[in-house]
Amino acid sequence: MPHPLDTQDMEGVIRRSPEQFAAGLRAAEGVRLSRGPFSQVILAGMGGSWMAGALVRDAGLSKAPITIHRGYGLPERVPSDTLVLASSFSGNTEETLSAYEAARAAGLSLIGVAAGGELEKRCTSAGVPFVKILADPPTMQPRSATGYGVGILVQILARIGLATADAVSTVERLGRFLAGSMESARQQGEALAAVLTAVTPIIYASDRFAAVAHLWKIKINENAKAPAFWNVFPELNHNEMIGWSFVHGAFHVVLLRDANDHPRVQKRFDITLALLREKGIASTIVPITGTTLPEKVFSSLLVGDWASTALALAHGVDPSPVPMVEDLKKRLKD
């Protein structure tokens, strides 16, 4: 039985999330592009819809550069051999629709990715290739649909020759790996949530896991309705670390640590931990588990899903709805 506060069954969505990878691969099997080859991919999306691009890139599943565009229109001077993916879970995100129109106006190759909405209508009307996200349940939040996006993007890359040789099989295995990791991830996430209930979490990782740290922050924001911040080694040692000299408020640093990070980064972890202790800052190390880079990326995210959901329930809030975002959208229409 779901927790009484969990009205949209976020727990069930997390438990079923490993199934999304294979579903995403299947959804994009029939996509067709008449042009190419392509030198790069731009994924235009906001909120939960850009996450797949960053994760595919950071997990080393693409042979071509993937640029994440989070805004209106497109970047200036986009090369003509660029593939644009306009990605919006709802299909109604105004920034993504703006990027779609900019890509069409520039004559760029374009694919739409959505669960429906205006983006599907425009792609269908204009004959633009479109991949439909068959989300289960359809009411899930975009941030919870990352596996679909990863599977779709990897399948598209594979069909145009830009995925790494084993990318599709890697994504197929990911679902099984994460299903087997589910219970340990839940226990780890819930234990971490217990120490974060009255503090502002600060998520640190090496630069190899920048997208992971960023997504942990986002999940805490949206699921737990709480502020959180993130940064990466070694950059944080050159600026943010100085901010701990005079602390105003209650914070807890969560360090996502991989045993295979660069040796100098490992030393930076150790020294930074010591300096934080000297300043009275509490911290928790969350080991990044897995054998391959994709396993490490997605197993860490699974822990973050459970931690942020448990934190939401500890705060007495429903982890799924995002009322402030919906309020903002209503005001933008005025």
DSSP string, 97-153: HHHHHHHHHTT-EEEEEESSHHHHHHHHHHT--EEE---SSTTS-GGG-HHHHHHHH
Six-digit token string for 212: 């992971």
DSSP string, 176-224: HHHHHHHHHHHHHHHHHHHTSTTSEEEEEEEGGGHHHHHHHHHHHHHHH
The catalytic residue among 11, 120, 222, 295 is 222
The catalytic residue among 238, 248, 330, 333 is 238
Which of 145, 82, 326 is closest to 132 using CA atoms?
A: 145
What is the Cα–Cα distance from 309 to 14, expressed in whole angstroms?
9
| Cβ-contact 168, 219 below 8 angstroms | no
| Cβ-contact 203, 284 below 8 angstroms | no
Residue 127 corresponds to which amino acid? G
Q: Assess whether 329 carries a catalytic annotation.
A: yes
Report cis status (omega within 30 of 0) of the bond before 129. Answer: no
| Cβ-contact 333, 22 below 8 angstroms | no
Q: Assess whether 214 carries a catalytic annotation.
A: no
Which of 148, 157, 169 is closest to 40 using CA atoms?
A: 157
Secondary structure of residue 14 in the 3-state scheme: helix
DSSP H/E element including 157 = helix 146-159
Secondary structure of residue 78 in the 3-state scheme: coil
Six-digit token string for 96: 């993504």
What is the Cα–Cα distance from 130 to 112, expressed in whole angstroms?
5
The catalytic site residues sit at 222, 238, 329
